[in-house]
Structure 1
Amino acid sequence: MFLLISTAIVIAVSTADLFLSPHKNEWSVKRTSPRETERYQGEQLSITVTNHSAFSMHVRFVDDLPRSFQPSYPNNIFIPKQRAATIEYQVWPQVRGKYSINYLYIRYTSMIGLWEKQVTISQPDTIKVIPNLSETKRYLASAQTYLLHEGLKIRKMKSGTGEFSKVRNYVVGDDPRKINWRQSAKFQEIMTNEFEPEHGKHITICIDCGRMMGVELEEGNRLEKSVEAAITLAAAALDNGDYVAVVVFSKEIQAVAPAGKGLQHLDTILQTIYAVQVDAQESNYPLAIQYAQTLQQKRSMIVLFSDVATFVHEDHHLFYMKQLRKRHLFLMLGIEDRLLQKTISQTPETTAIAMRKSIAQKQYLYQKQVMTKWEKHGLPMLEAPADQLAVTAVSHYIQTLNRGLL
């Protein structure tokens, strides 16, 4: 009898608790998400739950996010009756691309908590994960500070070259030939003319997304760092008033952003290349270079982000690169091999370590010899650590303009 009575009471309370929970038609949910977010940057999303029923409830949910997103969900959120509550949560996207988020999976408990219901709500949305722009923002905030932080500086131009910029006070070290005597007489102090590189130059950025660009680094792969460095270089050129075009290629041409001017063109470049991925095929360099020359008829500076080792071990690329050098200024940038550098810096404590170090040194010296050979033909090749690739590209671009080579 006791078991029967206890069971009846539990069933009665459970049934009452079930009817005292909100019905799925008595509340609504709306997600708020940004259109774009940067890779590796935490982004805040939110959902607004509106409870129209006469009963309160506790809510927990999971969003229909891709696996490359790392979310942090709150748990057991209380929603009062006849009220609306906004629930915020953080996500950290790891991979670039365009992603669709279609559903929200929500569980809510009844008043006493004996029942928990699950509802799948359709909330179609789209989020674009663009490359990380931290290096670009640092450059646009202060170009000189950005380069000095990396141990580099913008060099002075040759005397009398470039476009007139402004008149400023004379300081020790300025060229006396650039003193503006008219303004000096007017202000009763020595004034000098300042020049800056000419604007309106053409820069063509080629990004290799072939098989060798998929080598993994500590953060991302070679293609990720190359894309971020290319965007920083494009921002520097656009901020200087130059025209910038971008070509992404592997075996075929993957994406093209035609030449444009002004910082608003940076968004066009971002929307063109933000979703490019590594292709598992060998890169077709002749096709890419020929397409870049077709895209840009005027003399320009062509910057190629690729794997230097590919050119070191394949000499046939030198032929069509020499043809390119007759009309354009060429520069190739790659990411140095951290494993090779680590092996070279080891202390030869054992015979095995000494053998590995000697082979690594031999490979490094051979690579430097080939790079010197290319540079003698007017085709410089530079390698930089992954975290310094962007500043190396921007520094070389500024030095090229200051020396009047373009």
Structure 2
Amino acid sequence: MESLIKPEETWLLWAFLAGWAAVSIYLEQKYKWASKVSGAIIALVGAMVLANLNVIPTASPVYDAVWVYVIPLAIPLLLFQANLKKIWNESGKLLFLFLISSIGTVAGVTIAFITLKDSIPYLDRIGAMMTGSYIGGGVNFAALAGKFEAPGEMVSAATVADNLMMAIYFFVLIAIPSITFFRNKFKTPFIDQVEKEGNAAGETQASSYWKRKDISLKDIAFALGSAFVIVGISFKLAAIFNGMIESEGSNNTFLIILDGILGDKYLMLTTITVLLVTVFHRFFDKIHGSQELGTYLIYIFFVVIGVPASIPLLVEAAPLLLIFVAVIVLFNMLFTFVFGRMFKFNLEEMIVASNANIGGPTTAAAMAIARGWTELIAPIMLVGTLGYIIGNYIGSLMGYWFQSMM
């Protein structure tokens, strides 16, 4: 059945992607219910509904352009805060919990893969994608899907399973602070503080955080100009290394891994950005607006990953994928909350750490903003940004390991 908007109607589709991303941000900042759900989920679910109602197509060159151009630009813009020294100095405690949560993801992926590898095709590639996605977020999903060249229909089915599970889990995380069991078993200082102070009338936490900031034309020029330059250099270097390291058809594991690291454009992009930001932190610290620009681009990506989420496709093609991602999320949650309680972390810290793994720093920060946990916003953004870095590396390693087991 043809969609109302055709795949070749480029401007109409760009209007929808950019417009719905803007609407999602507006709703998050205008209404408290939307702030609690988060703009990311609104962007994703809205696109999913319209795609399943055949208002917009499930595939188009416009969506491909988002993967090819928008995501690579968003990565450095969001990494401009990824000064490794700053992350360690300001967020060391939360970083420890985030890494524990990441171990839970790896454990869940491993168990789910071993259990279902004979039942789901291309699970080695999907396992790599989901490892990266559930350590760093959707950006890693996009990067690893391109790296391992997963078939389009399996990427779509995995996207549906991922989106549904992500939405369900976010609602679980949102509900946890209201459940008596968790309030009795864990320390909740930030929740207690918010309940004590109350919220300002007519203002959501999201609008309070994303308030107007000092930004100039030079900031925009430096932010976007630096992002374009970094992407261009990184992708060119990756192509050069890829041509130098002849791993295709080789049985040499070292060459395959070396090519996977140096020849992968997303890993090269991540590595160069972090090195530049750490070494030249004074320059990048002075650029205002990069977080806002990167976040808006990520919201466009949230819309796009909701588009191919055809519910009939999931039911018909790969219902086991939902079980696969559910096992990963379950282990992530168990590791986070069990070890979090063992090491005496607060409930709020566990929630945002797990959220940063499953959804990335944007959704984790959105939840912290929505809940009014202001002291956790900057640390989880920094720590979650690290997930962009390690997610690609760990996802790549898991992918190579899974390939050897197929």
Say yes or no: TM over 0.5.
Answer: no
TM-score range, shorter chain: under 0.3
Q: Which has the higher strand share?
A: 1
Mark the structure with the bigger radius of gyration: 1
- Scaled by the length of structure 2, the TM-score of the pair is 0.24
| Higher RCO, 1 vs 2 (CA within 8 Å, ≥6 residues apart) | 2
- Scaled by the length of structure 1, the TM-score of the pair is 0.24
